[in-house]
Amino acid sequence: MLRYLANNDIDKLQWDACIDDAVNAMPYAYSWYLDIVTMGKWDAIVIDNYQAVFPVPVKSFLLYKKVYQPFFVQQLGLFVRQEKYFSMLQDCVQLLQEKQKNIYLHLNTANELPGAKKRLTHLLSLHEEYALIAAEYGTAVKKNLKLSAKQLITISNAINVTSFVTFIKRYVGDKAKELKEKDFQTLEQLIEICMKKDKGFLCCAKNTSGEVLSAVFFLHAKHSLIYLVAGSSQQGRKLQAMTLLLDNVIRQFAHTHTILDFEGSMIPGIAHFYKSFGGKEITFPVLIK
């Protein structure tokens, strides 16, 4: 049985238990994560007493509502405890379209929606030993690792959340003009909560003077390691510090059941960077009405 629920009617404990058990679990779908990125404004489709769930972020305007894709969330869609529930995706879509007139929503890589527009992510399995993973790096990555190794760059977790967000705002903000001050505040809150819940970590690359060259926040839940937000200073880009940082994290998680999700990108240059680490293109559907 499908039910469309307003936020106040969602049982958050049962919801999060479903995400914990889901065969296609992603940290974006936890109730606390959605609460932060939508400021508590999300509805849901629930199937058979939380055997499967479908989050619905809703933004209210003066005369209408819109289902939208929040910042810091790459994929949503249908999450299921048993694979048989994937067959109910079309029913979820139909119910959502009946309830909402304006929709732009990313589903996830386990959801199949024939005829839908597709977006890309890049996934790298870290199941093998580090040496085998690194052997598949592209020529540019191998070259850049040799360059950065000569620069006495230090990889560290010693960066606090406020400093990280300030760094991102300085070096990424002008390239992501759609991000407003409130979005950076949301990011800071999101990272703090993720780290308190042991669902993510910060790391950075520093030069010999202790200046941050590159920094990244990874979401980490179950077997997912998601490259959520990252940035580099001009010197960091010159010294290829992000390449060294990513290699260090890959080394750390190698030979585990982890999948590294680079979160995109549709931009060819960035996509090429991810592919150079061995990332494989995977598509997911976009629901538009």
Q: What pLDDT digit, counting tens, does each position of 84-109 carry?
A: 999 999 999 999 999 999 999 999 99
Do 121-283 and 2-114 fall under one CATH topology? Answer: yes
Distance (Å) of CA 54 to CA 161, 214, 254: 30, 35, 32
Q: Which amino acid is at 88?
A: M
Q: How confident is the model at residue 222 (pLDDT cuts 50, 70, 90)?
A: confident
Q: Which of 98, 75, 81 is nearest to 46 (CA)?
A: 81
The rounded distance, in Å, linking the Cα atoms of 67 and 45 is 13
Round the CA-based radius of gyration of the chain to a whole number and report it: 20
Q: Which of 113, 208, 79 is nearest to 153 (CA)?
A: 208
Q: What are the sequence ranges of the domains in the chain?
A: 2-114, 121-283
Confidence check: pLDDT of 283 > 70: yes
The 10s digit of each residue's pLDDT in 182-207 is: 999 999 999 999 999 999 999 999 99
Residues linked to residue 106 through DSSP beta bridges, in sequence order? 286
Helix (H) or strand (E) holding 284: strand 280-288
Confidence check: pLDDT of 266 > 60: no
CATH class of this structure's domain 2-114: alpha beta
Q: What is the pTM of this model?
A: 0.94
Q: How confident is the model at residue 269 (pLDDT cuts 50, 70, 90)?
A: low
CATH code for the domain defined by 121-283: 3.40.630.30
Q: Would you say 110 and 24 are in contact if contact means Cβ atoms under 8 Å apart?
A: yes
Per-residue pLDDT, averaged over 3-20, amounts to 98
Confidence check: pLDDT of 36 > 80: yes
What pLDDT, on the 0 to 100 scale, is given for residue 175? 62
Question: What's the chain's average pLDDT?
Answer: 93
